[in-house]
Amino acid sequence: MNTLAPFFSFANASRVSWASVPVFSVTKLVRLTGELIRGGARLVAWFGVPDHDETTLVAILAMDDDSILGVARSEPVSGSYPSLTPKYPQAHLFEREAWEQHGLVPVGHPWLKPVRHTNGDAPANAPFFRVEGGEVHEVAVGPVHAGVIEPGHFRFQCAGEEVMHLEIALGYQHRGVEDALAGGPHRGTVFQMEAVAGDSTIAHATAHAMVMEALAGVEAPLRAQWLRAVALELERLANHTGDMGALAMDVAFLPTSSACGKIRGDFLNLTALLCGNRFGRGLVRPGGCMHDLEPERLATLVERLKTHMADVEQAMAWFWDAASVRVRFRNVGVVHPPQAVNIGLVGPAARACGLVRDVRFDHPAGWHRFSQAPVAVWPSGDIFARARVRSLEVQRSGRYLFEQLAEPVDGELRTALGAPQPEALAVALVEGWRGEVCHVALTGHDGRFRRYKIKDPSFHNWSGLALALRGTAVSDFPICNKSFNLSYCGFDL
């Protein structure tokens, strides 16, 4: 049974012909999208495709329980259309983005303002939401921060110390990545993909490679798929370990903070052992992988991994054994499960609200069709839960790697990649360490990119951080922010 009908259903990392994508009036597309979300689907992407002087809206939904995706598009439209957002808040940033990029006004959108449109050297931020009242005051943080982090602006509405509302303004790192991809793939495309979010190089490079392979009608060799899965878990280990250390630092628990800072580097060095680059650049390419893992280096990787996993589990044991740490994180920065569903949270932030939502499990592609790590879930939705999920995922990624490295896959590393299919749409989802990475490519009659859409998990999850702050003390912002640890450049694109 096609639970996404009348949308066209397909599997992750596959392509459909543009002609087979159902076309509806924009009003009907909005209505059908809403009905399917109400029926359990979630919005993966909503974007515009220029069509002469008008725009075609494309909706991509995921039905996680059935492991299928669905796609539909509107007739070319200009002017306005009825907004999805009032009933389905997970659409709010998608609709703001489509308005910013194509001038389509979602009528009824409750907070229509730029996402990353620039005004000179800074984002063109419209006025911020304000709460009125004699005791209410504003606190502005950023875009330049005290630490060595990326730029973003946070505007708090507070009553005393309590946060009533937080609005987050980004766009300071907008590089025009999607515009640069038009007409591609170019010689520089794979390097642009690796730089979408530098700490998620493997996830974005893998999603791009899977899109290109789907368009060409080929599959990467199994050994390459296996190597990508290994590299993806090393990326997860390094970043989760760094986050655990950063959380410890923010509550002045220095043993774990110091240890995890060092161990994060150890995991990055394992990726360097694999491909020569600590962030995995140069490893994943459309058609396969560029570096093999010979038996000698594999044995070295396993021995070092044993040491680093023992170190990180000890550092996390110190963390969880400390009552002062546990108490500081409990019932702070809570996102309730219905909120997580409504705003479409993904990744560890969603799993910390009790949602079993993981692309490796829900929409397995590549090597994850054959082998998966168990999904880690915690129900409480607070900082404690987000730290717990990371901690569990460190353990499970480690076990997964030991299993995989014990039985390496033989075979070729690369396969020849033919020309992309003209007039086709391909979608690839990858579970990066922050959550669902989505790449969508639409080719024109010449097989070149007519539109390339990238969605980093942070696009969904910044709204979760804003909700987590409501009702908390403004002084809780650093640990709340750290518990999400979202990407600025991955959002800004």
Q: Is the pLDDT of residue 121 over 90?
A: no
pLDDT > 90: percent of the chain? 92
Cis omega (within 30 of 0) on the bond before 185? yes
The pLDDT tens digits of the residues spanning 209-257 come to 999 999 999 999 999 999 999 999 999 999 999 999 999 999 999 999 9
* Full-model pTM: 0.96
Region 264-268 average pLDDT? 98
pLDDT category of residue 59 using cuts at 50, 70 and 90: very high
Specify the 3-state DSSP secondary structure of 3. Answer: coil
Determine the Cα–Cα distance for residues 297 and 301; give it in Å rounded to an integer: 6
- What residue type is assigned to position 244 of the chain? M
Q: What pLDDT was estimated at residue 235?
A: 98
- The CA–CA distances, whole Å, from 308 to 108, 266, 294 equal 52, 7, 21
Query: Which span out of 112-126, 175-189, 227-241 was modeled with the highest average pLDDT?
Result: 227-241
Tell me the torsion sign for CA atoms 155, 159, 161, 163. Answer: negative
pLDDT category of residue 1 using cuts at 50, 70 and 90: low
Q: What pLDDT was estimated at residue 146?
A: 75
The pLDDT tens digits of the residues spanning 286-342 come to 999 999 999 999 999 999 999 999 999 999 999 999 999 999 999 999 999 999 999
Question: H or E element: which one contains 106?
Answer: strand 105-107
Listed in sequence order, the residues at least 6 apart from 342 whose beta carbon sits closer than 8 Å to its beta carbon are 88, 89, 90
Q: What pLDDT was estimated at residue 161?
A: 93
Window from 116-125, 145-154, 299-308 with minimum mean pLDDT: 116-125
pLDDT, averaged across the chain? 95
Q: What pLDDT was estimated at residue 378?
A: 97
Q: How many CA atoms, within 13 angstroms, populate the side-chain half-sphere of residue 71?
A: 24
The pLDDT tens digits of the residues spanning 421-480 come to 999 999 999 999 999 999 999 999 999 999 999 999 999 999 999 999 999 999 999 999
Residue of 154, 251, 256, 210 whose CA lies nearest to 368: 210
The pLDDT tens digits of the residues spanning 60-115 come to 999 999 999 999 999 999 999 999 999 999 999 999 999 999 999 999 999 998 89
Q: Is the pLDDT of residue 373 over 80?
A: yes
Full DSSP string of 35-59? HHHHTT-EEEEEEEEEETTEEEEEE
Radius of gyration (C-alpha) of the chain in whole angstroms: 22
